[in-house]
Structure 1
Amino acid sequence: MQRYVKIALGLVIVVIILGAYTRLTDAGLGCPDWPGCYGFLTVPHSETRVETAEMRFPERPVEHFKAWNEMIHRYAAGILGILVLVIAVTAVQRRRRIGAGKPLKLPLALLVLIIFQAALGMWTVTMNLQPVIVMMHLLGGFSTFCLLALLYLRESQPTLATEPKLRSLQPLAILTLLVVVGQIALGGWVAANYAALACTNLPICEGNWLERLDIAGAFSVPEAEDYEFGVHSYAERMTMHVFHRIGAIVVMAVMGLLLLKLWLGATSQWFKRLTFVLTFLLVLQVALGITNVVASLPLAVAVAHNAVGALMLVGLVALNYALFKIKRKEVSHG
Structure 2
Amino acid sequence: MQYEQGMQKNFRKIAKISLVLVYLVIIAGAVVRMTGSGMGCPDWPKCFGHYIPPTDISELQWRSDTEIKKGQIIIVDQTLMVAAKDFRTGDMYDESNWKRYTKHDYAQFNVAHTWTEYINRLCGALAGLATLVLAVASISFYKQNKKITFFSWLVVFGMGFQAWLGATVVYSVLEPVKITVHMIMALVIVALLLYIIHITKKNVSAGPRSPLNILPLMALALFMTLVQIILGTQVRQLVDDRIDLVGEAAKNLWMSNIGWEFYLHRSFSILVVVLNLVLALRIYRHKLGFSKINWVLALIGFEVLTGIAMYYLDFPFASQPLHLVLASLLFGVQFYLVLEAISSRKRSKSL
TM-score norm. by structure 2 comes to: 0.77
Number of the residue aligned with 1:16? 26
| Paired amino acid for 2:13 | R
Q: Deviations over 1:233-278 (max 9, x none)?
A: x86x51221221122112112122112211222254xx23x12111
Number of the residue aligned with 1:155? 200
Task: Tell me if 1:240 matches 2:261.
Answer: yes
Question: What is the CA–CA distance in structure 2 between the aligned matches of 1:317 and 1:275, rounded to whole Å?
Answer: 11
User: What aligned pairs does 1:86-97 form with structure 2 within 5 A after superposition?
Assistant: 86-91=133-138, 93-96=139-142
The alpha-carbon deviation at position 138 of structure 1 amounts to 1.1
Task: Tell me if 1:250 matches 2:268.
Answer: no
Q: Deviations over 1:292-334 (max 9, x none)?
A: 111222231111111110111111111111111011012123x
User: What aligned pairs does 1:17-166 form with structure 2 within 5 A after superposition?
Assistant: 17-45=27-55, 48-52=58-62, 53-55=74-76, 57=80, 59-91=106-138, 93-96=139-142, 98-100=143-145, 103-157=148-202, 159-164=206-211
Question: What is the CA–CA distance in structure 1 between the aligned matches of 2:314 and 2:156, rounded to whole Å?
Answer: 38
Pick the structure with more helix per residue. Answer: 1
Where structure 1 has 5 or more consecutive residues not aligned to the other structure, the ranges are 199-233
Question: What is the CA–CA distance in structure 2 between the aligned matches of 1:78 and 1:115, rounded to whole Å?
Answer: 10
The alpha-carbon deviation at position 157 of structure 1 amounts to 4.5
- Cα distance change on mapping 1:301 and 1:287 into 2, 3 Å: same
Bigger Rg over Cα: 2
Q: Deviations over 1:81-128 (max 9, x none)?
A: 12112212221x2134x4336612321221221111101100010011
The alpha-carbon deviation at position 79 of structure 1 amounts to 1.1
Q: Deviations over 1:191-231 (max 9, x none)?
A: 24436979xxxxxxxxxxxxxxxxxxxxxxxxxxxxxxxxx
- Cα distance change on mapping 1:195 and 1:183 into 2, 3 Å: farther
Where structure 2 has 5 or more consecutive residues not aligned to the other structure, the ranges are 1-10, 63-73, 81-104, 244-255
- Cα distance change on mapping 1:114 and 1:192 into 2, 3 Å: farther
The alpha-carbon deviation at position 46 of structure 1 amounts to 5.1
8 Å contact kept, 1:114–1:144? yes
**Secondary structure, counterpart of 2:221 in structure 1:** helix
For these two proteins, the number of residue pairs brought into alignment is 290
User: What aligned pairs does 1:195-214 form with structure 2 within 5 A after superposition?
Assistant: none
- Cα distance change on mapping 1:175 and 1:30 into 2, 3 Å: same
**Secondary structure, counterpart of 1:40 in structure 2:** coil
| Paired amino acid for 2:183 | L
Q: Tell me the C-alpha RMSD between the 2 structures.
A: 2.2
Question: What is the CA–CA distance in structure 2 between the aligned matches of 1:186 and 1:123, rounded to whole Å?
Answer: 21
Which of residues 292, 306, 316 in structure 1 aligns to 2:324?
A: 306
The alpha-carbon deviation at position 45 of structure 1 amounts to 2.3
Question: What is the CA–CA distance in structure 2 between the aligned matches of 1:267 and 1:191, rounded to whole Å?
Answer: 37
User: What aligned pairs does 1:249-328 form with structure 2 within 5 A after superposition?
Assistant: 249-268=270-289, 271-272=290-291, 274-328=292-346
TM-score norm. by structure 1 comes to: 0.81
Question: What is the CA–CA distance in structure 1 between the aligned matches of 2:271 and 2:131, rounded to whole Å?
Answer: 35
8 Å contact kept, 1:27–1:66? yes
The alpha-carbon deviation at position 47 of structure 1 amounts to 5.8
- Cα distance change on mapping 1:35 and 1:171 into 2, 3 Å: same
Number of the residue aligned with 1:210? none
